[in-house]
Amino acid sequence: MPFGHYTPEVNRALGARYRYLMSVNPGYWDGASVMIPRMLIFNGVPLDMYRLYLTGAGEFDPILTAVTADGSISDSVRFRIEKGVVPRNVELLAVSGASSGKPYDSNPAVDEIMVRDGFLTLDLKKHRDRFFGADRNVIAYALITRSNGTIRYLSRGVMHWIADPAAGPVLRLQSR
């Protein structure tokens, strides 16, 4: 998909026609979804990041399942807690860099998360405004935690829009 961007409608239409779709979502494929995450290789990202990613595949056992449709538009995103306890040190790992400009950058998401009644709610707009800037309308990400030098994916990779992708950038013509 162009730039890895999609909507639930695009997923349904293409998923009915094609067996697999490639995304730029971080994380590992669950074997069931039509969306296959793809690890993009960027210049300047330490090779250790990719090593950690590859060696972590065997331990991929997410505890969170997105309830908010993948590719949908929403300020807040809900995840069902499938098992276990949500760690205190949750981070949002984004494919494209936040204000740091570094790809595969992660930032703490603790202040943007609320856990209640078996669900985790992420205020994605608040996280975007804090780490990406208000002009960012889409984020491909996974919720992760880090311990002992390894990354543990708490969710599979998803992408959510904060503003309607159909609106697009506004082109303003200047008259002479």
DSSP letters for the chain: -GGG---HHHHHHHHHH-S-EE----S---SS-SEE------TTS-HHHHHHHHHTGGG---SEEE-SPTT-B-SEEEEEE-SS---S--EEEESS--TT--TTEEEE-GGGEEEETTEEEEEHHHHHHHHT-TT--EEEEEEEEEETTEEEESS--EEEESS-TTT-PPP-PPP-
> What are the boundaries of each domain within the chain?
42-161
- Average pLDDT of 14-40? 78
Output the CATH code of domain 42-161.
2.60.40
> Please, what is the average pLDDT of the chain?
83
* DSSP code of residue 81: E
pLDDT 10s digits, 66-113: 999 988 899 999 999 999 899 999 999 888 777 677 778 889 999 999
Residues 9, 11, 17, 20, Cα dihedral to 10°: 180
Alpha-carbon distance values, 155 to 13, 26, 36, 101 (Å)? 24, 10, 14, 23
pLDDT 10s digits, 147-163: 777 788 999 889 899 98
Identity (one letter) of the amino acid at 22?
M
Please provide the size of the chain in residues.
176
pTM of the shown model: 0.81
- Quick one: pLDDT band at residue 172, thresholds 50, 70, 90? very low
